[in-house]
Amino acid sequence: MLKHISAIAAVFILNLGFASASVAATPRSTWVENEIYQYNHPFASQLPQELATKMQKMTASPFAFYRGTADIFYRDMQTLPGSAFVNSSTRAIWLEGDMHLQNLGGMRDSNDNNVFDTTDFDEGYLGPYVWDLRRMAVSILLAAKENGLSSSDGQDIVRNFLDAYLNKMSDFKGTNDELSYRLQQSNTNGVFKDLIQQAAAKSRSSLLNKYTLLNSSSNRVFQTTSELQPVSSSTYSDITGAMSSYIASISSSKRYSNSYYTLKDIRLKLGSGTGSLGKYRYYLLIEGPTSATDDDRILEIKQEASSAVAIAVPGLLPSSVYGNHQGARVTIATKAMLSNTDPLVGYTTVSGIPFMLHEKSPYQMDFDYTLLTTKSKFMDAMGYAGKVVAKNHAISDQDYDASIVPESVDKQVTDITSGNKAVFFDEIVNFALDYATQVEYDYTSFVNAYNSGVTLY
């Protein structure tokens, strides 16, 4: 498998399905097929058509496959060697957990700042800070190759991402600057500035027009489309009954009057994302601040399961922190790593299944990595990405909740890498090179299985 591995570690990796430590990335088709099946099969009985969509999406490219298989990454993190730059203070910090280029985007925060930030915390969990960096570094190499850039260019881009991360961590050390730091139009340029501007130009009316309409009684309801499907009366009733516990999950300081959350309509949302396909996702139309129809809000309610990160470090985040409720875990992770968090973030249980809720914001734009067609564009963008990840890690330490992460992560990371940046960069880049090659092997194994009709869920 990886060439930067000790002989002792190779024994464990052999059990994972890797051929040997003495060779680079190696095909492990049977293992990949089994892992994909085991991870996805629990959801096959509820939304098999969504899992079919997931598998089809994952055939598009190694990057698309990587995006949909965080479980494989953390199965490997369980046994691959750790980092020389992780100590007891940095082995259990808040991770975004599924750090890749398409979990970044433009948005508007609750203080009406138009910003660039992280958009998805479904896999939020504790772990070594380098795991977010490793996962992003691999995604950079895969996307750069897909965009036609050379391997050496990809490595330079990863180094720029890491350099921006460490420099911003150093800036945060000894200050509280991370608590107010944000990337916005005034301190960005290139594709990220464009993305922030595009998000800022969006409107609530355009979102409502996209998904809803006024019926004959002048009430706003969802449209029915291939993406938005009606739900059964029992599901409608179950979700309606779960709203009170959702409202109670929101801190009293951010809670609106009960009328704000009045449920007006529900649809099953199909086809969103990649990794989460197969889990239930609904759109809920709620009243919003007034009884007028032009300020209604759309909530996205997503089924949550155990974080993929927990595959590698089970129990590292005590279940008592999130009441053993996976929706609560995602809610806490979101609040920990974002500033001015959406006040509609919360969680509930529907028919025994944990869900996380947040607003389907009119002002969010997903990041399109295919726009990074030159090295300079990619370098520039990943410099900003490094700053975003640094901010995520720095504000979610003792600044958020010292009972979960008792350290100053910005201080610890800065101190442990100080004077050794080149070695740190080499360690992450070498890992990413080897692992990106392994992803390409795994992708080929997956596509062959998919085309051969192997049961993958």
Maximum pairwise Cα distance, the chain: 72
Residue 374 pLDDT exceeds 70: yes
Q: Which of 54, 59, 96 is nearest to 74 (CA)?
A: 96
Residue 39: its pLDDT value, please?
98
Average pLDDT, the chain: 94
Residue whose entry in the numeric block shows the structure tokens 């199909």: 270
Conformation bin of residue 210: beta by default, left when phi > 0, alpha when psi is -120 to 50: alpha
Please say whether the beta carbons of 442 and 61 come within 8 A: no
The string of DSSP letters for 321-341 reads GGTT-HHHHHHHHHHHH-SS-
What whole-number percentage of the chain has pLDDT above 90? 95
Distance, in Å, from the CA atom of 178 to the CA atom of 389, rounded to the nearest integer, reads 11
Residue 391 pLDDT exceeds 90: yes
Residue 327 pLDDT exceeds 80: yes
Q: Which residues, 6 or more positions from 18, have their beta carbon under 8 angstroms from its beta carbon?
A: 1, 10, 26, 28
DSSP E strand boundaries for 288-446: 297-303, 346-350, 353-359, 365-366
Residue whose entry in the numeric block shows the structure tokens 């890498």: 417
Provide the pLDDT confidence category of residue 300 given band limits of 50, 70 and 90: very high
Provide the pLDDT confidence category of residue 78 given band limits of 50, 70 and 90: very high
Pick the range with the lowest mean pLDDT from 7-21, 215-229, 347-361. Answer: 7-21
Residue 2 pLDDT exceeds 80: no
> What is the CA angle 370-376-377, rounded to 5?
35
Distance, in Å, from the CA atom of 40 to the CA atom of 326, rounded to the nearest integer, reads 17
Q: Which of 151, 141, 95 is nearest to 118 (CA)?
A: 95
Distance, in Å, from the CA atom of 427 to the CA atom of 33, rounded to the nearest integer, reads 29
Distance of CA 158 to the CA centre of its chain: 19
Q: Which of 259, 239, 236, 400 is nearest to 331 (CA)?
A: 400
Question: What tokens were used for 362?
Answer: 């009119």
In the beta sheet, which residues pair with residue 284?
Answer: 266, 299
Report the 10 Å Cβ neighbour count for 227.
14
200-235 pLDDT, tens digit each? 999 999 999 999 999 999 999 999 999 999 999 999
- Please tell me the pTM assigned to this model: 0.94
Question: What tokens were used for 163?
Answer: 């350099």
Q: Which residues, 6 or more positions from 378, have their beta carbon under 8 angstroms from its beta carbon?
A: 140, 144, 147, 149, 153, 157, 372
Residue 90 pLDDT exceeds 70: yes
Distance, in Å, from the CA atom of 200 to the CA atom of 220, rounded to the nearest integer, reads 25
Residue 24: its pLDDT value, please?
63
Q: Which of 336, 333, 264 is nearest to 298 (CA)?
A: 264
Q: Which of 324, 331, 321, 322 is nearest to 357 (CA)?
A: 331
